């Protein structure tokens, strides 16, 4: 029932009810006439008063105006005893009243604001649509949403600071001093002032009686009351903390709803990247920046360092509010740096920088998949023979209420290299930690295990990197185990006060990040941590401060320190990159004025397109060119076998029948065993040579020598991967066998072509034989006189042997290919008569070359005779002088070469070139994904300069966008 004084009621209200002691409404006033109340109540009482502020007007719309007044507390009973208690504990009661009054006011203010917002929403829904009567409705109605917007930042600004709250808290030491009661009770002192002797006697007797027993009783009771007051104070503080947590939780839910509305596009506005996302992008670009500058390490980030198994990962998981990292029992799990970007969002999700998959951190299967993915990425980044890697894994974590910051989790520092680790693991981890901590703007989060000896820590390393402690935050983990195991709680106090370690820090925190079970959820760990510190004697005895405990206070402190460092240093770093960009642009203009600024990736794409174009050009080679190349190369490969093993042995026979029989047998053996394999080898080599020729062909002005190394690597790798299809070998064998079986020359052009082919082959062999003979016997008399050259003793013997054997050939023009033993003896004795000692083997070797020359000369002479023998061949005339069986043999060989070249060309153009093109594409794709391979194949100052220039420009643009967003938020 709402009560309003008669003086405050408006004229419209007075017409509805009667006035007596007050105005009673059976129906609330705001439900009777909201429009009348909105118009008249604001100006009731004084018509000339100015318009009150919105906050005053809004007071009439809140539900706080309907709260009943608190009834006064009944007075305490009379009597000496009650007066003594009231007089004795007035300080404690005053402190209790002040504490209760402050929190009641604080809770009423916060709750009243929230209730006002809720009541206003209900009242607003009851109003009709007054869009056409905006001039009637007061302006403050449209401003209420802004006045009552409830956010964490506004709540934090409205609440007093911790220093102000500490000032308002009573000083326990002074309270204890106030509890030092006088020797006599106040009542006895008052009776002494009356001057009654009987009362004085009573006083003296009472003093004697109470002097012994009550003195000890008062001291013990005072101590108990002080303990009770301290416990009450702790309970009040915990109650205040729970109230704040409840309000923050409600605010978190409200912000989650707002973020979800923005995410769904309800307001139809473009959602921009958050501030921390912009900053994280800058750090990601810097991690890929491989220039020889040191500026990339000077942007702030939170570097988490500590001993192995000290609780680093658990602290990060408590801050991220999810079990996102793989865990192991006593083994090294963090094998590479993990950069975690924490930001606020409507859903609790995680995502890698180079992946589009979102992991829902509220689902256990997604959490398990995320841990497996992180572990897999770590193992891939570690090279063979190493234990840890310097390659950074970038992970983004978003969720409601998560503080915004960038943390880098480093591998834990070890003191001993165990079996299975690389020998340089300890030094590698130290170098990696120093490299991150040397950044003058990096915040060092030093993690120390409280359950082990304090000497086992990285505090020495941290103190070396930050001797003055201007950017270090110390965290003591596993405080529950430390309190249970340590006999001296003062040791924990010394640690959190910075008196035990030789390092300095901005702040010291004590946290509990688990109960030793890796399956515990984050919520259960938070509850366990809160219960522990609520019941811990470390807080009860004052050894720890409330702002020094819990991971929540730690995360807020780290986030504040991170953003303070960012605001202080980001503009300076932007200026550094601006200067670097100017220097790089100047160097490019002076050294490469006519070239585009292409970085390594762009150059690789350009080279890739060129190589693919060259492979396509390979498939455009004409069939005639392919067949000509194949035919020529195949004959070069098989000509020696045909001449030495088929033609010469058959030609040395005495009749044509034996010649043809020998030729058929040897051709059949050659076709079954060697010829198909030789043909495929020739085709594969021809494809390689043509591919290499197209790759190395000079393109004029478009030729870029920076691609030579890449092209050579692509060519070698593609050929290495290519496997020739040998399934066509059987069909090729049949084709070659049928071609060699045919003996019928149908026309004169074929006959002439065979004779020409035979002449070219024999002349080539004759030249080779004469060259061998000249090398054996040395220079002739003309060369000796003109060139002043002499024969060696061996050449002199060879020359004498040659002359003797030539006389034998002149006597026996139709001699066989081999010398008989008696002929060898005769030649040797003739030479001995001339004073030349000759070995029989030397005689036979010299005879072989001389007879070969003699035979080839005779074969060429016979070939000239056969030019006019096609008529006899066609009509099967028998003429011993014109038996041209050798011409038919060369025609069969020539026809086999043509048919084989045609068959191989078809296989090349239809199958092998396409497969090679596919292999080239695969090799290029593999090289493109391998950054290290790409860096090795495309090198040079031009490439490095272009990459540096592109990176610096991108970093500068990102930094400028981040600074602009930072100023807007500020």
Among 37-51, 717-731, 921-935, the minimum mean pLDDT is found in 37-51
Q: Find how far residue 112's CA is from the centre of its chain.
A: 49
Helix (H, G, I), strand (E, B) or coil at 423: coil
Q: How many Cβ atoms from other residues are within 10 Å of residue 564's Cβ?
A: 12
List helix spans (H) across 15-89. Answer: 29-32, 34-40, 54-58, 80-88
**Residues 6 or more apart from 472 whose CB is under 8 A from it?**
443, 444, 446, 462, 466, 503, 504, 505, 506
Residue reference for tokens 């080539």: 764
Cα–Cα distance, 801 to 773 (Å, whole number): 12
Cα–Cα distance, 596 to 607 (Å, whole number): 15
Helix (DSSP H) and strand (DSSP E) numbers for the chain: 39, 11
Residue reference for tokens 């011409």: 887
Q: What percent of the chain lies above the pLDDT cut of 90? A: 11
Average pLDDT over the chain reads 75
Residue 137: per-residue pLDDT: 46
List helix spans (H) across 265-324. Answer: 275-287, 312-320
Continuous segment of H or E residues that includes residue 341 = strand 338-344
Angle at 694 between CA 693 and CA 699, to 5 degrees: 115
Residue 168: per-residue pLDDT: 52
> For residue 445, what are the β-bridge partners?
304, 473
DSSP state of 790: -
Nearest CA to 823 out of 798, 851, 847 is that of: 847
* Structure confidence at residue 243 as a pLDDT band (50, 70, 90): confident
Cα–Cα distance, 889 to 754 (Å, whole number): 9
State the DSSP string of 425-444. HHHHHHHHHHHHHTSTTPEE
Residue reference for tokens 């240093």: 569
Residue reference for tokens 């060699």: 740
Pairwise pLDDT comparison (815 vs 91), residue with the higher score: 815
Q: Find how far residue 53's CA is from the centre of its chain.
A: 56
Both tokens of residue 184?
């006599």
Annotated domain spans of the chain: 301-549, 616-927
Residue 665: per-residue pLDDT: 92
DSSP state of 43: G
Residue reference for tokens 């401060």: 545
Q: What is the pLDDT of residues 190-221, one digit of tens each?
A: 333 334 434 343 444 444 344 544 545 555 67
List helix spans (H) across 620-728. Answer: 623-641, 648-651, 656-673, 675-696, 708-721
pLDDT over threshold 60, residue 358: yes
pTM listed for this prediction: 0.52
Q: What is the pLDDT of residues 615-637, one digit of tens each?
A: 888 888 889 999 999 999 999 99
Nearest CA to 107 out of 115, 96, 95 is that of: 115
The mean per-residue pLDDT over the stretch 754-765 comes to 91
Residue 327: per-residue pLDDT: 74
Nearest CA to 340 out of 259, 412, 280 is that of: 280
Cα–Cα distance, 367 to 324 (Å, whole number): 6
Residue 415: per-residue pLDDT: 78
pLDDT over threshold 60, residue 13: no
Cα–Cα distance, 83 to 81 (Å, whole number): 5
Q: How many Cβ atoms from other residues are within 10 Å of residue 540's Cβ?
A: 15
**Residues 6 or more apart from 374 whose CB is under 8 A from it?**
324, 325, 326, 338, 393, 395
In angstroms, the Cα distances linking 437 to 464, 549, 560, 944 are 10, 25, 19, 27
- The CATH number, out of the four listed (3.40.50.300, 3.90.1150.10, 3.30.1450.10, 3.40.50.720), of the domain defined by the range 301-549: 3.40.50.300
The mean per-residue pLDDT over the stretch 469-498 comes to 82
Residue 613: per-residue pLDDT: 85
* Structure confidence at residue 313 as a pLDDT band (50, 70, 90): confident
C-alpha R_g of the chain: 52
Cα–Cα distance, 871 to 635 (Å, whole number): 29
């Amino acid at each position: 029932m709402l009560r309003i004084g008669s003086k405050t009621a408006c004229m419209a209200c007075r017409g509805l009810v009667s006035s007596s002691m007050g105005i009673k409404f059976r129906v609330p006033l705001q439900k009777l006439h909201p429009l009348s109340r909105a118009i008249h109540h604001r100006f009731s009482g004084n018509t000339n008063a100015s318009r009150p502020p919105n906050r005053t007007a809004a007071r009439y719309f809140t539900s706080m105006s309907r709260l009943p007044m608190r009834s006064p507390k009944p007075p305490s009973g009379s009597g000496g005893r009650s007066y003594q208690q009231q007089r004795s504990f007035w300080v404690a009661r005053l402190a209790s009243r002040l504490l209760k009054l402050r929190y009641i006011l604080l809770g009423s203010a916060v709750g009243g604001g929230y209730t006002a917002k809720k009541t206003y929403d209900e009242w607003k829904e009851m109003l009709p649509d007054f869009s056409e009567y905006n001039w009637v409705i007061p302006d403050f109605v449209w401003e209420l949403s802004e006045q009552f917007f409830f956010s964490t930042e506004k709540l934090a600004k409205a609440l007093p600071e911790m220093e102000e709250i500490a000032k308002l808290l009573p000083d326990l030491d002074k309270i204890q001093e106030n509890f030092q009661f006088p020797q006599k009770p106040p009542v006895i002192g008052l009776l002494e002032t009356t001057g009654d002797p009987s009362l004085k006697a009573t006083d003296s007797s009472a003093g004697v009686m109470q002097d012994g027993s009550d003195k000890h009783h008062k001291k013990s009771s005072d101590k108990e009351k002080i303990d009770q007051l301290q416990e009450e104070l702790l309970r009040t503080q915990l109650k205040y903390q729970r109230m704040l947590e409840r309000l923050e939780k409600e605010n978190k839910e409200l912000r989650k709803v707002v973020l979800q509305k923005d995410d769904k596009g309800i307001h139809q506005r473009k959602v921009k990247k958050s501030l921390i996302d912009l900053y994280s992008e800058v750090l990601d670009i810097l991690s890929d920046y491989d220039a020889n500058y040191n500026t990339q390490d000077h942007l702030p980030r939170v570097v988490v360092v500590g001993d192995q198994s000290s609780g680093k990962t658990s602290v990060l998981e408590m801050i991220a509010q999810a079990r996102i990292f793989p865990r192991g029992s006593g083994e090294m799990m963090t094998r590479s740096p993990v950069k975690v970007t924490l930001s606020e969002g409507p859903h609790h999700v995680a995502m890698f920088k180079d992946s589009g998959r979102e992991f829902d951190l509220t689902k256990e299967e997604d959490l398990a998949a995320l841990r497996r993915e992180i572990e897999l990425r770590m193992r891939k980044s570690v090279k063979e023979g190493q234990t840890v890697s310097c390659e950074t894994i970038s992970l983004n974590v978003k969720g409601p209420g998560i503080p915004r910051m960038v943390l880098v989790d480093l591998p834990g520092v070890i003191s001993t290299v165990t079996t299975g680790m690389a020998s340089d693991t300890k030094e590698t981890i130290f170098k990696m930690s120093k490299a991150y901590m040397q950044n003058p703007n990096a915040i060092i989060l030093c993690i120390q295990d409280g359950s082990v000896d304090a000497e086992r820590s990285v505090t020495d390393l941290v103190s070396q990197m930050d001797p003055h402690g201007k950017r270090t935050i110390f965290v003591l983990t596993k405080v529950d185990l430390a309190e249970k195991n340590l006999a001296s709680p003062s040791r924990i106090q010394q640690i959190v006060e910075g008196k035990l370690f030789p390092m300095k820090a901005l702040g010291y925190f004590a946290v509990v990040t688990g109960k030793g079970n890796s399956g515990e959820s984050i919520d259960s760990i938070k509850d366990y941590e809160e219960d522990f510190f609520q019941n811990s004697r470390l807080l009860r005895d004052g050894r720890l401060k409330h702002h020094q405990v819990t991971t929540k206070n730690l995360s807020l402190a780290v986030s504040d320190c991170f953003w303070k460092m960012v605001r202080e240093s980001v503009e300076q770093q932007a200026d550094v990159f601006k200067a670097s960009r100017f220097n790089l642009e100047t160097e490019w203009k002076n050294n490469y004025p006519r070239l585009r600024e292409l970085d390594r990736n762009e150059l690789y794409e350009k080279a890739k397109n060129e190589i693919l174009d060259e492979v396509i050009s390979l498939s455009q080679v004409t069939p005639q060119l392919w067949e000509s190349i194949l035919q020529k190369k195949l004959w070069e490969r098989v000509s020696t076998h045909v001449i030495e093993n088929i033609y010469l042995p058959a030609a040395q026979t005495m009749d044509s029948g034996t010649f043809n029989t020998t030729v058929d047998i040897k051709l059949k053996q050659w076709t079954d065993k060697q010829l198909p394999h030789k043909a495929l080898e020739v085709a594969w080599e021809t494809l390689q040579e043509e591919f290499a020729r197209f790759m190395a062909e000079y393109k004029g002005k478009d030729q870029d020598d920076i691609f030579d190394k890449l092209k050579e690597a692509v060519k070698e790798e593609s050929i290495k991967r290519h496997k020739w299809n040998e399934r066509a070998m059987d069909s090729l064998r049949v084709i070659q066998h049928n071609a060699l079986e045919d003996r019928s020359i149908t026309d004169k052009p074929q006959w002439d072509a065979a004779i020409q082919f035979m002449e070219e082959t024999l002349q080539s062999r004759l030249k080779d034989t004469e060259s061998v003979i000249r090398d054996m016997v040395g220079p002739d008399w003309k060369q000796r006189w003109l060139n002043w050259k002499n024969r060696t003793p061996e050449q002199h013997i060879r020359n004498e042997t040659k002359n003797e054997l030539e006389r034998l050939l002149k006597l026996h023009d139709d001699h066989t290919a081999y010398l008989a033993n008696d002929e060898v003896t005769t030649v040797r004795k003739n030479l001995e008569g001339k004073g030349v000692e000759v070995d029989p083997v030397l005689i036979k070797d010299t005879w072989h070359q001389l007879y070969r020359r003699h035979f080839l000369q005779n074969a060429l002479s016979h070939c000239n005779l056969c030019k006019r023998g096609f008529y006899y061949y066609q009509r099967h005339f028998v003429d011993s002088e014109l038996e041209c069986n050798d011409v038919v043999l060369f025609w069969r060989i020539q026809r086999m070469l043509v048919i084989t070249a045609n068959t191989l060309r078809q296989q090349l153009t239809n199958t092998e070139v396409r497969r090679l093109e596919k292999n080239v594409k695969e090799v290029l794709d593999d090289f493109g994904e391998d950054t290290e391979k790409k860096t090795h194949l495309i090198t040079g100052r031009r490439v490095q300069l272009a990459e540096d220039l592109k990176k610096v420009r991108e970093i500068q643009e990102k930094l400028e966008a981040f600074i602009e967003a930072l100023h807007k938020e500020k």
